[in-house]
Amino acid sequence: MDSDRGFLMLFDSIRSQEGPVSILKKALYHGRVPTAYLFTGPPGCGRMMAALATAASLNCQSGAIACGSCSSCLLYSAGNHPDLYLIGLPEGKRQIVIKQIREQILARAYLKPMSGKTSTFIVQDAHLINMNASNAFLKTLEEPPATSHFILIATDRDSVLPTISSRCQTLAFSPLPRLVVEDILLKEGIQKSQASLLAAMAKGSVKKALAYQSTGALEEMAGEFEPLSSLHNYGVGQLLDLAQRWGRNRQDALGVLEFMAQWYRDMLILFEGVPEDQVIHVAHIQELKKGADSIGGVNLASILESVEDAREAIEANTNVQLTLDTLLLRVRNHTLPTEKSA
Ligand SMILES: [Zn+2]
């Protein structure tokens, strides 16, 4: 999506964020845009687009809301308006430090805008601004120059130091609905079956979906389907091997768990007779139906509970390998034909 920045700076292009977008538009119409905003929400849900649209609107030559076609808006579209400052975590760094805040914000915030009426500083990863840098930034947020606006972006308000967040008006962006993510991916030219799977995995974040796609994580995961369909035939040794393969690290293990949750949720949906268009793994519908019939609703619910328990345990830093060992044994027991109780 970065290839089309013009699309990125119009409010009309932002999907499913009616609440924050209408607040922003109202503020722009009335010329009462707060000096500092904090946009919260998962990456890839429209926060950055809204920040760019706000910045472009503040300098649009034809109205209160970015028109997308005046010479100022065109510069924002191209990402090189001289009054737009994008501040983010430098490559290889783990924090935004005082030097960066001084050089990229404080040194510029008190200067007159270069070509428009206002300068906008968009700070991505605002939760990574460290204490010293926050203190340096504070004074500017408290007594800002009239021509400077600040938009901070973070996943949630609590992750940002309170000294900073208390001086910003917070606008909460929600994770995008699965079907919206899917639709955006389809428009990006991704195939339907892949798009629905990516959208389900991405939990409301287009950025995450595209990352899954580009790393090939999806293809890798698709190769894991086979064991899930025949877990009941696995001996203990094979199960432990599988757990070892799936649990090489915490991140992989969480991906596998997400995948398992979808897989068995699909079966439960089919078991309960919910319309098939709710199924994520549509390409495997026959396999899923077969599984749903043989495992049954009660066991499927228990499996989903076990998967959720394992996810919580791994997120709480429990030994990945042991957690997966236990989980797979449990899941197998629930899928054994003799254990069927539904
Ligand atoms: Zn314009």
Taking CA atoms, 33 is separated from 105, 118, 210, in Å, by 19, 11, 32
Instruction: Please tell me the distance between residue 233's alpha carbon and the centre of ligand 1 in angstroms.
Output: 63
Out of 21-30, 44-53, 219-228, which region has the weakest mean confidence (pLDDT)? Answer: 219-228
pLDDT of residue 338: 56
Look at residue 4 and tell me whether its pLDDT is greater than 60. no
pLDDT band at 2 (very low <50, low <70, confident <90, very high): very low
75: CA distance to ligand 1 center in Å? 9
Among 225-229, 235-239, 275-279, the range scoring the smallest mean pLDDT is 225-229
Q: What is the dihedral of CA 232, 235, 239, 241, to 10 degrees?
A: -150
Whether 261 has a pLDDT exceeding 70, the answer reads yes
Helix/strand/coil (H/E/C) assignment for every residue in the chain: CCCCHHHHCCHHHCCCCHHHHHHHHHHHHCCCCCCEEEEECCCCCCHHHHHHHHHHHHHCCCCCCCCCCCHHHHHHHCCCCCCEEEECCCCCCCCECHHHHHHHHHHHHCCCCCCCCCEEEEECCHHHECHHHHHHHHHHHHCCCCCEEEEEEECCHHHCCHHHHCCCEEEECCCCCHHHHHHHHHHCCCCHHHHHHHHHHHCCCHHHHHHHHHHCHHHHHHCCHHHHHCHHHCCHHHHHHHHHHHCCCHHHHHHHHHHHHHHHHHHHHHHCCCCHHHCCCHHHHHHHHHHHHHHCHHHHHHHHHHHHHHHHHHHCCCCHHHHHHHHHHHHHHHHCHHHCCC
Distance between Cα 70 and ligand 1 center (Å) = 4
CA of 63 to the centre of ligand 1 (A): 7
Mean pLDDT value of segment 121-126: 96
Q: Give the pLDDT score at 247.
A: 85
Query: 60 alpha carbon to ligand 1 midpoint, in Å?
Result: 4
For the residues 184-202, what does the mean pLDDT come to? 84
Residues in the chain: 342
How many whole angstroms from 67 Cα to the centroid of ligand 1?
Answer: 4
Å from CA of 66 to ligand 1 middle:
5
Q: What is the pTM of this model?
A: 0.71
CA of 16 to the centre of ligand 1 (A): 23
pLDDT class for 336, splitting at 50, 70, 90? confident
Residue 65 CA, ligand 1 centroid: distance in Å: 7
Average pLDDT over residues 290-313: 94
Distance 97 CA to ligand 1 centre (A): 34
Question: pLDDT grade, residue 319 (50/70/90)?
Answer: very high
CA of 56 to the centre of ligand 1 (A): 7
Would you place residue 1 in the very low, low, confident or very high pLDDT band (cuts 50, 70, 90)? very low
- Expressed in angstroms and rounded, the spacing between residue 43 Cα and the centre of ligand 1 is 26
Q: Is the pLDDT assigned to residue 38 strictly greater than 50?
A: yes
Q: State the pLDDT confidence band at 220, using cuts at 50, 70 and 90.
A: low
pLDDT at 79: 85
Residue 177 in this model has a pLDDT that exceeds 70: yes
**Spatial distance between the Cα atoms of 144 and 184, rounded to a whole number of angstroms:** 37
pLDDT bin (cut points 50, 70, 90) of residue 8 is low
pLDDT the model gives residue 221: 65
CA of 45 to the centre of ligand 1 (A): 24
Q: Could you tell me the distance, in angstroms and rounded to a whole number, from the CA of residue 179 to the centre of ligand 1?
A: 31
CA of 334 to the centre of ligand 1 (A): 60
Q: Among 25-29, 166-170, 297-301, 316-320, which is the least confidently predicted range?
A: 316-320
CB-CB neighbours of 300 under 10 Å = 24
What mean pLDDT do residues 50-78 have? 95
Average of pLDDT values for 178-193? 88
- Confidence check: pLDDT of 302 > 80: yes
